[in-house]
Copies of this chain bind each other. A is one copy, B any other.
Amino acid sequence: MDKPPAPSRRITIVDVAQHARVSTTAVSKVLRNAYGVSPTMQAKVRQAIAELGYRPSAAARGMRGQTYTIGVMLPDIRNPFFAEILDGLNDHLADTDYQVLLGPGCNGEEAEAKVTHAMIDRSMDGMILIAPVSSRAHLEHVARTVPTVVVGRHGRSATYDTVADDDFAGAGLVVDHLADLGHRRIAHIEHHETDPDRLAEMPNAIRADGYQHAMRARGLAGEIDIASTSYTQEGGYLGAQQLLARPVRPTAIFAGADIVAMGALDAIAEAGLRVPEDISVAAYDNTTFAAFRPISLTSVDQAGHQIGRNAARLLLDRIADRQRPATQIKLSPTLVTRRTTAPPPA
């Protein structure tokens, strides 16, 4: 029952095999829950593993089989929304032999390429790419090399599965909510996009589409007003400044992301206006801070947890069968109304 005497050399499968008086194959099979081991052997091997405190080397396993490691790439570790997705992932993966490792936050195609390559070099068994901005070609390349699930990006592919939130519908929720309150001049701050792939696939572009579609559906086509900046605090600040300078000022602003709303609130306060009395603000993501009392931001909640769970499930399915046809899952967002939205000034 005492610990093995300070083993400077790591315990290997050979040690376990000798200790259990069986072959290394037997140990390997037990490790992988593979077919063809008697209960007796199972027991012997498991006991030897426990007694010696053996842990398989992922590097060695990776040379021949799997590494039991799943790589997750996410663009911005600061966005708490991604943490929700990770929780969902881990929920599903906790009971499996797989271990999740995250790439450090990426911004831009170059950084994404570096991380995806690094993960491929490290023989990840599967990869989950969250809201990647890389070209489709790169995504397909990655997915051809290793089982891949792309999260938070629309557009179907034959080589990878996708899980995304219905951003089009989410934008509609915001417009409907504001229009129901009586707003007509509802403006939008979007993340500027020119790349055709991304215009068709990135959530920011879909949200802008959804905004316009919903405005038209409410008979507000003439009121459509978009400030095109970026999904950053500064983007929100500049975007709101632009909108407030219009001849006829909007009575409500739909910011494409919560962080954008933070910048917009700055600009609105500087302009001497009150929220929501003078102007309403709604956003997207329902990040943790949206719920903080001083902020109390009306925001679209993406089912982050569910997104993560589904991504994990799809990935394990694909690892099991790489030929399986690609699946697209689209989840429905909900609107959380708080204190930044109210009827327009009389």
Interface, chain A (partner B; CB < 8 A): 55-63, 67, 69, 71, 77-78, 80, 82-83, 86, 89-90, 99-105, 117-118, 120-123, 262, 265-266, 269, 288-289, 292-295
Q: Is the CB of A262 within 8 A of B292?
A: yes
In the bound complex, CA of A254 to CA of B289 (Å)? 20
Name the distance in Å between A72's Cβ and chain B's nearest Cβ: 8
In the bound complex, CA of A57 to CA of B123 (Å)? 8
Identify the 7 closest CB pairs spanning chains A and B, nearest first. A59-B62, A102-B102, A294-B294, A58-B122, A289-B289, A101-B101, A99-B118
Q: Is the CB of B102 within 8 A of A55?
A: no
Q: Is the CB of A77 within 8 A of B67?
A: no
Q: Find chain B residues with CB under 8 A from A83 CB.
A: 77-78, 105
Q: Find chain B residues with CB under 8 A from A71 CB.
A: 101
Please indicate which of the listed interface residues A80, A102, A122 has the most CB atoms of chain B within 10 Å of its own CB: A122
In the bound complex, CA of A59 to CA of B266 (Å)? 49
Name the distance in Å between A97's Cβ and chain B's nearest Cβ: 11
Q: Find chain B residues with CB under 8 A from A265 CB.
A: 292-294
Q: Find chain B residues with CB under 8 A from A57 CB.
A: 62-63, 121, 123
Name the distance in Å between A8's Cβ and chain B's nearest Cβ: 9
